[in-house]
Amino acid sequence: MSGNGNAAATALARIQTDSVVATLKALYPGLQFEIIAMSTTGDKILDTALSKIGEKSLFTKELEHALEKNEVDLVVHSLKDLPTVLPPGFTIGAICKRENPHDAVVFHPKFAGKTLETLPEKSVVGTSSLRRAAQLQRKFPHLEFRSIRGNLNTRLRKLDEQQEFSAIILATAGLQRMGWHNRVGQGALGVEVRAKDQDILDLVGVLHDPETLLRCIAERAFLRHLEGGCSVPVAVHTAMKDGQLYLTGGVWSLDGSDSIQETMQATIHVPAQHEDGPEDDPQLVGITARNIPRGPQLAAQNLGISLANLLLSKGAKNILDVARQLNDAH
């Protein structure tokens, strides 16, 4: 088993991998699991914004190479790091129960008690996400937003010890997994495996959380249809209530001045975890879930595609094309 992790990225990656291993050990007490820490391109290039690097598999390529060579049998990722189109031969064999999917604002100590709204004019807020920057720029035009890279420890150190940032935006789930509640995939972990390795697929398939799985299928279908990635500000959020899956998606211009947001819903039955699933090639948006019925998976995927088409009909393509051009030009 592999977890993304060099000295710069080990802590959170190791915690996430350990949580998956602990669950597997409880389910399969007779098996031994060896954890191998590996580095990725995204871990090594820390002086460039993610949106500028131009590599779609920043946090996965080296790990998939190890999978391909049978050096490891499964890889634990934050699901947000996995492209919606995986290379041939790979699949997401498990999606674990999602933790808090929201973003968190962490302030420099001198601004303790402040909010983004009450920060002084021209205060600088750090984020590695174009989506976060565009959304916040629209709501808080008096602030400036700059790229900040590095693992959680590095970003927090930059915030606390340097005077460049008044606040930074981080994923709440990462802070919680690190035990830093006082400073507060997004939220979901995915386990990538070889697509044809049925033994490993059966092994990890029991980790699927049905509700999280269906929500992630809808989200990834939306992002894939819009061709959303690190180079454009695209956001998507799901909620399940009373048998209805609600999907909200939006696109923004880089400065947040232009945006389109819509919500759609569909009736989707969340199945028991171990109901029989499809017997044929079951991949949807890179996810294999043979122990979840095909019907709800297809309904979730169709919801994501339908919402993407709705945004495209309202002009989303033009907003995204301009955002890509401007991002490439800077």
pLDDT digits (tens, 9 = 90+) for 253-267: 999 999 999 999 999
Mean pLDDT for 33-55 is 62
With tokens 């598999």, the residue in question is 57
In the chain, % of residues over pLDDT 70: 85
Ordered domains of the chain (ranges, CATH): 11-98+188-329 (3.30.160.40), 104-177 (3.40.190.10)
At 191-217, the pLDDT tens digits run: 999 999 999 999 999 999 999 999 999
In the chain, % of residues over pLDDT 90: 58
Q: How far apart are CA 252 and CA 322, in angstroms?
A: 10
- Identify the sign of the CA torsion 146, 148, 152, 156: negative
Q: At what angle do helices 316-329 and 294-313 cross, to 10 degrees?
A: 80
> How many CB atoms are located within 10 Å of the residue 103 CB?
18
What does the pLDDT read at residue 177?
Answer: 81
Judged against a pLDDT cut of 80, whether residue 180 lies above it is answered with: no
Catalytic residues: 81
In angstroms, the Cα distances linking 1 to 158, 177, 186, 220 are 32, 19, 22, 24
The string of DSSP letters for 230-246 reads TTS-EEEEEEEETTEEE
- Per-residue pLDDT band at 154 (split at 50, 70, 90): confident
| Closest C-alpha among 18, 83, 20 to residue 287 | 83
Beta strand 103-107 with 167-171: parallel, antiparallel or unpaired?
antiparallel
Q: How far apart are CA 121 and CA 291, in angstroms?
A: 53
At 301-324, the pLDDT tens digits run: 999 999 999 999 999 999 999 988
